[in-house]
Amino acid sequence: MSRKAGKDRGLPSRSPSLESTASQTSAPVVKVGRKASTETLIGQGTVAYGQFLYDCCALLVFCPKHNNFALTKIGSRKGVWLPHVPVKTTEGWFTVTAAKLKAILTVAGGAKSYLSFSPPEMIHLFRIQLPSIARFATRVTYFTQLTHDTKYPTNCCQSNKTVSWFSAQDVMSHNVPELWGPEPYVFCEAFLNNNIDKGAYTEYTLRDAMKYTARDPPKTYQDEMLKSANFTERDIAKIYGEFIQHCYPSHFMVFNSFADYMKKIGWGSNDLDLPSTYRAFAFNKTAYITFHEFLLGLAALDKHTHQGGHTGELRCGYIFRYYDLNSDGVLDHSEMIRLVTDILRLHNKPVDDESVEKEVEKNYAALGIQKSDNINLELFTKGVGTLVFRGSSKLFRFSSPILQAINLKKCYDSISQLHLADGIDDGPGKRPKGTCPRCRTKKYTLAMYAVRISPEGFPAESVEINQDDVQNMSKEKKFYELLQFRSDHMCHQIMEMIRDQAVVACGLKPRYTQKSKNKQQLALWSIADREKLAIIILKILQEAENIFKKESRVVKLNSPAYVLGDIHGNLHDLILYERTLWDKGPACAAASYLFLGDYVDRGDFGLECVLYLLAAKILNPEKFFMLRGNHELRAIQMVFTFHKECVEKFGKSFGPTIWENCNKIFDCMPLCAILYSIPVPLNDPENGSPPAWEMLWNDPVSGNEFGEYAEMLRLQSGSNAFNNLQGFLPNTKRGTAYYFSEEAVSKFLNSNGLSHVIRAHEVIPPGYQFHMGGKVITVFSSSRYCGGNNEAACIFIEQEKIRVLVLDTIEKA
């Protein structure tokens, strides 16, 4: 059910926060009482629904003295919006709002550590219903204004890392760089015009979201266009989930957030002009677009959408708005020049000035108008229908199918599949499908090859199966399956050479076909022509770089999964791991494999280890995951051995090039992974969240050790400088980074809804160690490290069990 606050309630009717397309027959919603104490209003339900959707309080903060409003950055995304704060189920809205205000208005000096402000007043309550789970995320907006302290006038409206101040004129005129949604200027306008009703509320339900769908038969022209674009109800639900996750805490898209999303799904330099595309989407002619404008715009843009009938009429509107550069409702001569030029170019015809002008004059004549006349939408639609503008069906098209681009990029986690019964209800006895991998609806496709397994357990032969049976497989998956079973592919060739090298140089026992090879064949890696081998290696490195560039900096994987720590050029152990953990090769891997970094340095075969793992990643990118370790840095490698190793093995001609291309891949590697709420961190010194960086890079210590270090540092410094570091102390062992205590771990895990941290970066005699009551696990996967006697281990995660596997790396006679 849905209701919106209207003009009669004192809010501007065009307020995007209050728009709703709900039927007026829906049941009434109880209005929030204005006289009730705001301290008793408690956020209900689950706090967070994934990374980007959560209950929150937003703040409209005004400085009456300088006529400024406060805005802040939207998390990790490139945008600014109203200051806001997530709300926990145990917290009151008013309490959270007041605490957030104190945080963002903090100043250095004064009787208080923050600027004084008036008691926050709730001005709007907004709830949005999520797909499948049918729950609501709630956003409560409060208003406050600064009450100035005359003793410290210079502290007012000072922008900092947390908040930036913009003049009311700039906000009202949309002159705010990277604005993420329209709510700031809508609420600002309502306040400045004294047009805010503090009891206003809005709900946006699944019934609202599913106003247009691919019904059979269609009820509206919009339904017909969605059906023509092959948008199913499930597809629309997915797009809705992507839209609300991308926009939140805003409910709408402005150009900045629109452009950001389109680039996420692969909008390239050869695609349509983004500002013009955004203008075409906005058929309501406002400075923002709603979900329906976004959905229908995508359908109109899809390459499969028909140009004829009612769908063609709607598409004419999109094409018209795309070329109407000044949005005056007509196409003048210069705009017609642009339109005709694009038609000719799409049909590979000459686009010189003379040819274009001649075609434009021909079109004007066919329409019966003069060159000086303008063309309105009605006349343009008529011209398309009578084939005056031949070839216009190719205008306003995305380079690939929209749904394919969205599904391929996976910009946001699915909020599961949308379940509708009678519109929105699940009905008695029906449970909505969940969002975790075990509960999510599965869609299976047949693999392209049947694989023959030898008695020794290794893939011996692959047989291509009937192509009609795999027609539902995406092109990308087909591409990788072709790679996985082509024995002549460069990745297979390199991996085979590296396996043989492990036999020759590391003393591993030969297996399978290796037993029939002579010494020269086994030593091919060492004796092959360096230039030819370098060319193959560089091709593999380029392919791997392209894959890593598409991956998120935080990768997510499902169990079962093996997590391996430092390798450090230990080729002997790595090939043994292949024989025991993924013995059927990368193509037939039964689990996911996550490597925590530190592949190079200290060992003799860093290059071989890196190339083997990169080849596995290319062959099966959805099963093999590599994070960046602190040795995957150029400066570290120059101090240790990897740079020297590349030069020694490939000379000064190719060694430095191979080394640099390896590091270009390291630059693109993810920094950490999340598996069933278990963070698997990388020890990478990149700028970012300092607490997260400290947790991932540094060394855990016990409570007693932490106290001893703190006391030692206090004695050395002669001060209390280390009294309040919230669980962190300078790392005296490494001379860089920090030690962290259980206090720091608990704060990190609780703040992020996580259960454990798995880390590498530290040699442990048995190969593993538990810290902080098992909350932190260290794993090391290179046995006999630097000539020592340590063992190797890995972590196996399945069915909510975290199991340590100690890896025996000594082959039996």
138-167 confidence digits (pLDDT tens): 999 999 999 876 655 666 888 888 899 999
Token code pair at residue 91: 């917290």
Distance, in Å, from the CA atom of 270 to the CA atom of 807, rounded to the nearest integer, reads 51
Indicate if 138 and 216 belong to the same structural domain: no
Indicate if 329 and 355 belong to the same structural domain: yes
DSSP strand E in 292-415: where? 330-331, 375-376
Highest mean pLDDT among 482-496, 547-561, 562-576, 771-785: 562-576
CB 322, CB 278: distance < 8 Å: no
Q: Note the pLDDT tens digit of each residue in 212-231.
A: 998 888 899 999 999 999 99
Q: What is the pLDDT of residue 157?
A: 82
CA angle in degrees (0–180, nearest 5) for 6-10-12: 65
Distance, in Å, from the CA atom of 608 to the CA atom of 610, rounded to the nearest integer, reads 6
CB 712, CB 696: distance < 8 Å: no
Indicate if 231 and 359 belong to the same structural domain: yes
476 part of a folded domain: yes
Looking up residue 88, the CATH number of its domain turns out to be 3.90.79.10
Phi/psi of residue 338, nearest 5 degrees: -65, -45
Indicate if 346 and 307 belong to the same structural domain: yes
Q: Is the pLDDT of residue 444 over 60?
A: no
End-to-end CA distance of the chain: 73
State the Rg of the chain over Cα. Answer: 31
Name the pairing type of β-strands 80-81 and 768-771.
unpaired
Domain that holds residue 357: 208-408
Token code pair at residue 215: 């019904």
Distance, in Å, from the CA atom of 404 to the CA atom of 282, rounded to the nearest integer, reads 23
pLDDT interval class at 131 (50, 70, 90): confident
Distance, in Å, from the CA atom of 139 to the CA atom of 202, rounded to the nearest integer, reads 10
CB 747, CB 786: distance < 8 Å: no
492 part of a folded domain: no
Mean pLDDT of the chain: 80
CB 344, CB 356: distance < 8 Å: yes
With pLDDT > 90 as the criterion, what percentage of the chain qualifies?
A: 52
* Final residue belonging to a domain, choices 408, 437, 466: 408
591 part of a folded domain: no
Indicate if 224 and 195 belong to the same structural domain: no
Looking up residue 291, the CATH number of its domain turns out to be 1.10.238.10
Token code pair at residue 365: 């004549």
309 part of a folded domain: yes
Indicate if 265 and 186 belong to the same structural domain: no
Indicate if 245 and 147 belong to the same structural domain: no
Mean pLDDT, residues 55-81: 90
Mean pLDDT, residues 602-612: 96
420 part of a folded domain: no
Q: What is the dihedral of CA 792, 692, 677, 130, to 10 degrees?
A: -160
The number of domains in the chain is 4
Token code pair at residue 797: 């995660």
Give every CB contact of residue 208 below 8 A, 6+ residues apart in sequence: 2, 20, 21, 22
CB 496, CB 524: distance < 8 Å: no
Indicate if 153 and 234 belong to the same structural domain: no
630 part of a folded domain: no
Q: Is the pLDDT of residue 431 over 70?
A: no
Indicate if 301 and 173 belong to the same structural domain: no
79 part of a folded domain: yes
Q: Note the pLDDT tens digit of each residue in 708-751.
A: 555 555 555 554 545 545 555 555 555 445 556 667 777 777 77
Q: What is the pLDDT of residue 765?
A: 92
676 part of a folded domain: no
Indicate if 342 and 463 belong to the same structural domain: no
Indicate if 315 and 234 belong to the same structural domain: yes
Indicate if 329 and 220 belong to the same structural domain: yes
